[in-house]
Structure 1
Amino acid sequence: MKRSEPQDAEVRRKIPPVICYPIHTMPRPHLAAYQAAREGWEKVDELMVPPRDARTFTVPAGSFFRIISIQGPQVGDLNLWAVDDISERFYSGKTRALHGTHLSTGDQLWSCLPYLRPMATITHDTLDWYGFDEFGGSVHDVIGTRCDPYTHKLLSGHEYHHCCHSNLTRALADRMGRAMDEVEPAVHDVLNVFMCTGFTRDTGQYFMKASPVRPGDSLEFFAEIDLLGALAACPGGDCSSEHSSDVAACYPLLVETYRPKSPPQGWTSPARNAYSRRHGD
């Protein structure tokens, strides 16, 4: 039975919030040192991700990689793993809890438990001007999961094989030389690169809208550890209407890797989390 609103309802609603995970006590990246390390860097690799598909790439610790819009408005779904152990993978939920729903320059991408360390740091974002719009939307979110064929089947009754989840699964299977059903559990919630999203204010539902990304825009990262990455060019294109589609205008994405002349001053690759893992034994 539904309970009636208490007399002090407004008082309860006006209790001020408390940040769950204040990060001022954490070591923070020295962005000025990272920016200085970009001077004179050398491009060592590039990778084209075709529309409605995904590709993998590796980035050594201490190098930079950049995801670039090159032909038209296109969003991408990014997965990251430790190159030598894919059980250590990007943890979007903890990243969201530490940095917020949408990421930009200075935010870090954290790995899952029990490793919990920075995998990459965002060093440059050409869309950081966007901020939050009147609908509460912003870019580069860690609130969505990735378009997947299971949810598509649930909602539409149809099978669609080029969702980002499937594309990432195929790409990882090709990279590892393993069957898709073996590697699929390692595919995880993503950083939605260039995607513009938020939550509706009336129902709290996850929404998307046309991405502001245009050719030449980029999101740049510094690899804190040796990384294996996978990027999917979403079948929704700019995600202005739907995200699992064979009719949306879709474009490739470019991944460039840069090696600096020397690592950022004072930088060392972070060790895995130091918690004893005793769990109260």
Structure 2
Amino acid sequence: MKKPIDAEARRAVKPVICYPVDALPQPDMAAYEGFRAQAKKIDEVVVPPRDAATFSVPAGGFFRITSVEGPQVGDLNLWHADDLTERFYSGKTRALHGTHVTTGQRLWSSFPALRPMVTIVQDTLDWYGKDEFGGSVHDVIGTRCDPYTHNLLSGGHYHHCCHSNLTRALADATGLPLHEAETHVHDVLNVFMCTGFTRDTGQYFMKASPVRPGDFLEFFAEVPLLGALSTCPGGDCSAEHSSDQAACYPLLVEVFETPKRALAAWNQPPANGYDRSHGR
């Protein structure tokens, strides 16, 4: 097609942020720091390579994901512990906070609740920022590696994709049949993964994660949580994310409980106040 004479003027229109977040209630990071100082470790789970595991976190508690042996990416799912239909909503989190998240930002839950599920309180990779390729760490872009896309692109039947790992872990934790558990597995927070979009084609890319043993990402639980973490079969995702050849390492999840007396003045965020009856 012939380029219109006003093409450059159309391109030069300034963008507008879709969801200004200035009006959002800001997390009280000082209060969370005080809670953390009193919190006691109550559980830990080591997630083996190319596998997944679940964990539970009380409201007002914390959980920390740590690299313990080598550079490893993890795929995180979160559900409200009392209602699996309220789950982490990566798309809305991305719309509110951007493609990658770090300290002080939140992971939001699905409709109709649409409330903070967790707040990121510590991130040892926050120094990374954005690199020259447009890459950054901890993305809410990718959907999780899955056997369906793998089959579509290569004809393979790989059973240790993060989608499959998360499905099995959730089924084991809840007693749900695999086909029912699978319906609750959702788009993830790609913990430690370094990703972005190419400038020329706009394609999703990944590169070797900057994570090293001792690096961690820590969250404050705004609601009671059931979490599941998969160690990506691509290891640090420097080359591929569905592989039996990539070097893979475990990840450690630690759970901390804040004493109830310390939480006396804190309240869980309420579910979204939108009155759905007016739209029906």
Which band: TM-score by shorter chain?
Answer: over 0.9
Residue by residue, what CA displacement relative to the aligned partner does 1:89-148 show, whole Å, maximum 9, x if unpaired? 100000000000000001100001111010000000000000000000000000000000
CA–CA separation in structure 1 for the residues paired with 2:279 and 2:178: 38
Which residue number corresponds to residue 170 of structure 1?
A: 168
Which runs of structure 1 show a deviation greater than 3 angstroms over 4 or more consecutive aligned residues? 261-266
Give the match's secondary structure for 2:229.
strand
**Aligned pair 1:201/2:236, yes or no?**
no
Q: Scaled by the length of structure 2, what TM-score is found?
A: 0.97
Aligned pairs (5 A) from 1:261-276: 261=259, 262-263=261-262, 266-276=265-275
* Identity across the alignment (%): 70
Amino acid at match of 2:109: S
In the alignment, structure 1 segments of 5+ residues that lack a partner are none
1:266 CA drift (Å): 4.7
Amino acid at match of 1:276: D
User: What is the count of residue pairs matched by the alignment?
Assistant: 279
**Structure 2 CA distance for partners of 1:98 and 1:266, relative to 1, 3 Å:** farther
Which residue number corresponds to residue 181 of structure 1?
A: 179
1:9 CA drift (Å): 1.2
CA–CA separation in structure 2 for the residues paired with 1:280 and 1:166: 37
Which residue number corresponds to residue 16 of structure 1?
A: 14
Q: Scaled by the length of structure 1, what TM-score is found?
A: 0.97
Residue by residue, what CA displacement relative to the aligned partner does 1:25-84 show, whole Å, maximum 9, x if unpaired? 111101111112221321111000000000001000000100000000000000000001
Give the match's secondary structure for 2:165.
helix
Mapped contact 2:39–2:61 kept (Cα < 8 A) = no
Residue by residue, what CA displacement relative to the aligned partner does 1:192-243 show, whole Å, maximum 9, x if unpaired? 0000000000000000000000000000000000000000000000000000
Amino acid at match of 1:178: L
Match for residue 145 of structure 1 among 143, 146, 149: 143
CA–CA separation in structure 2 for the residues paired with 1:8 and 1:187: 46
In the alignment, structure 2 segments of 5+ residues that lack a partner are none
Give the match's secondary structure for 2:234.
coil
Give the match's secondary structure for 1:39.
helix
- Give the RMSD, CA atoms, in angstroms: 1.1
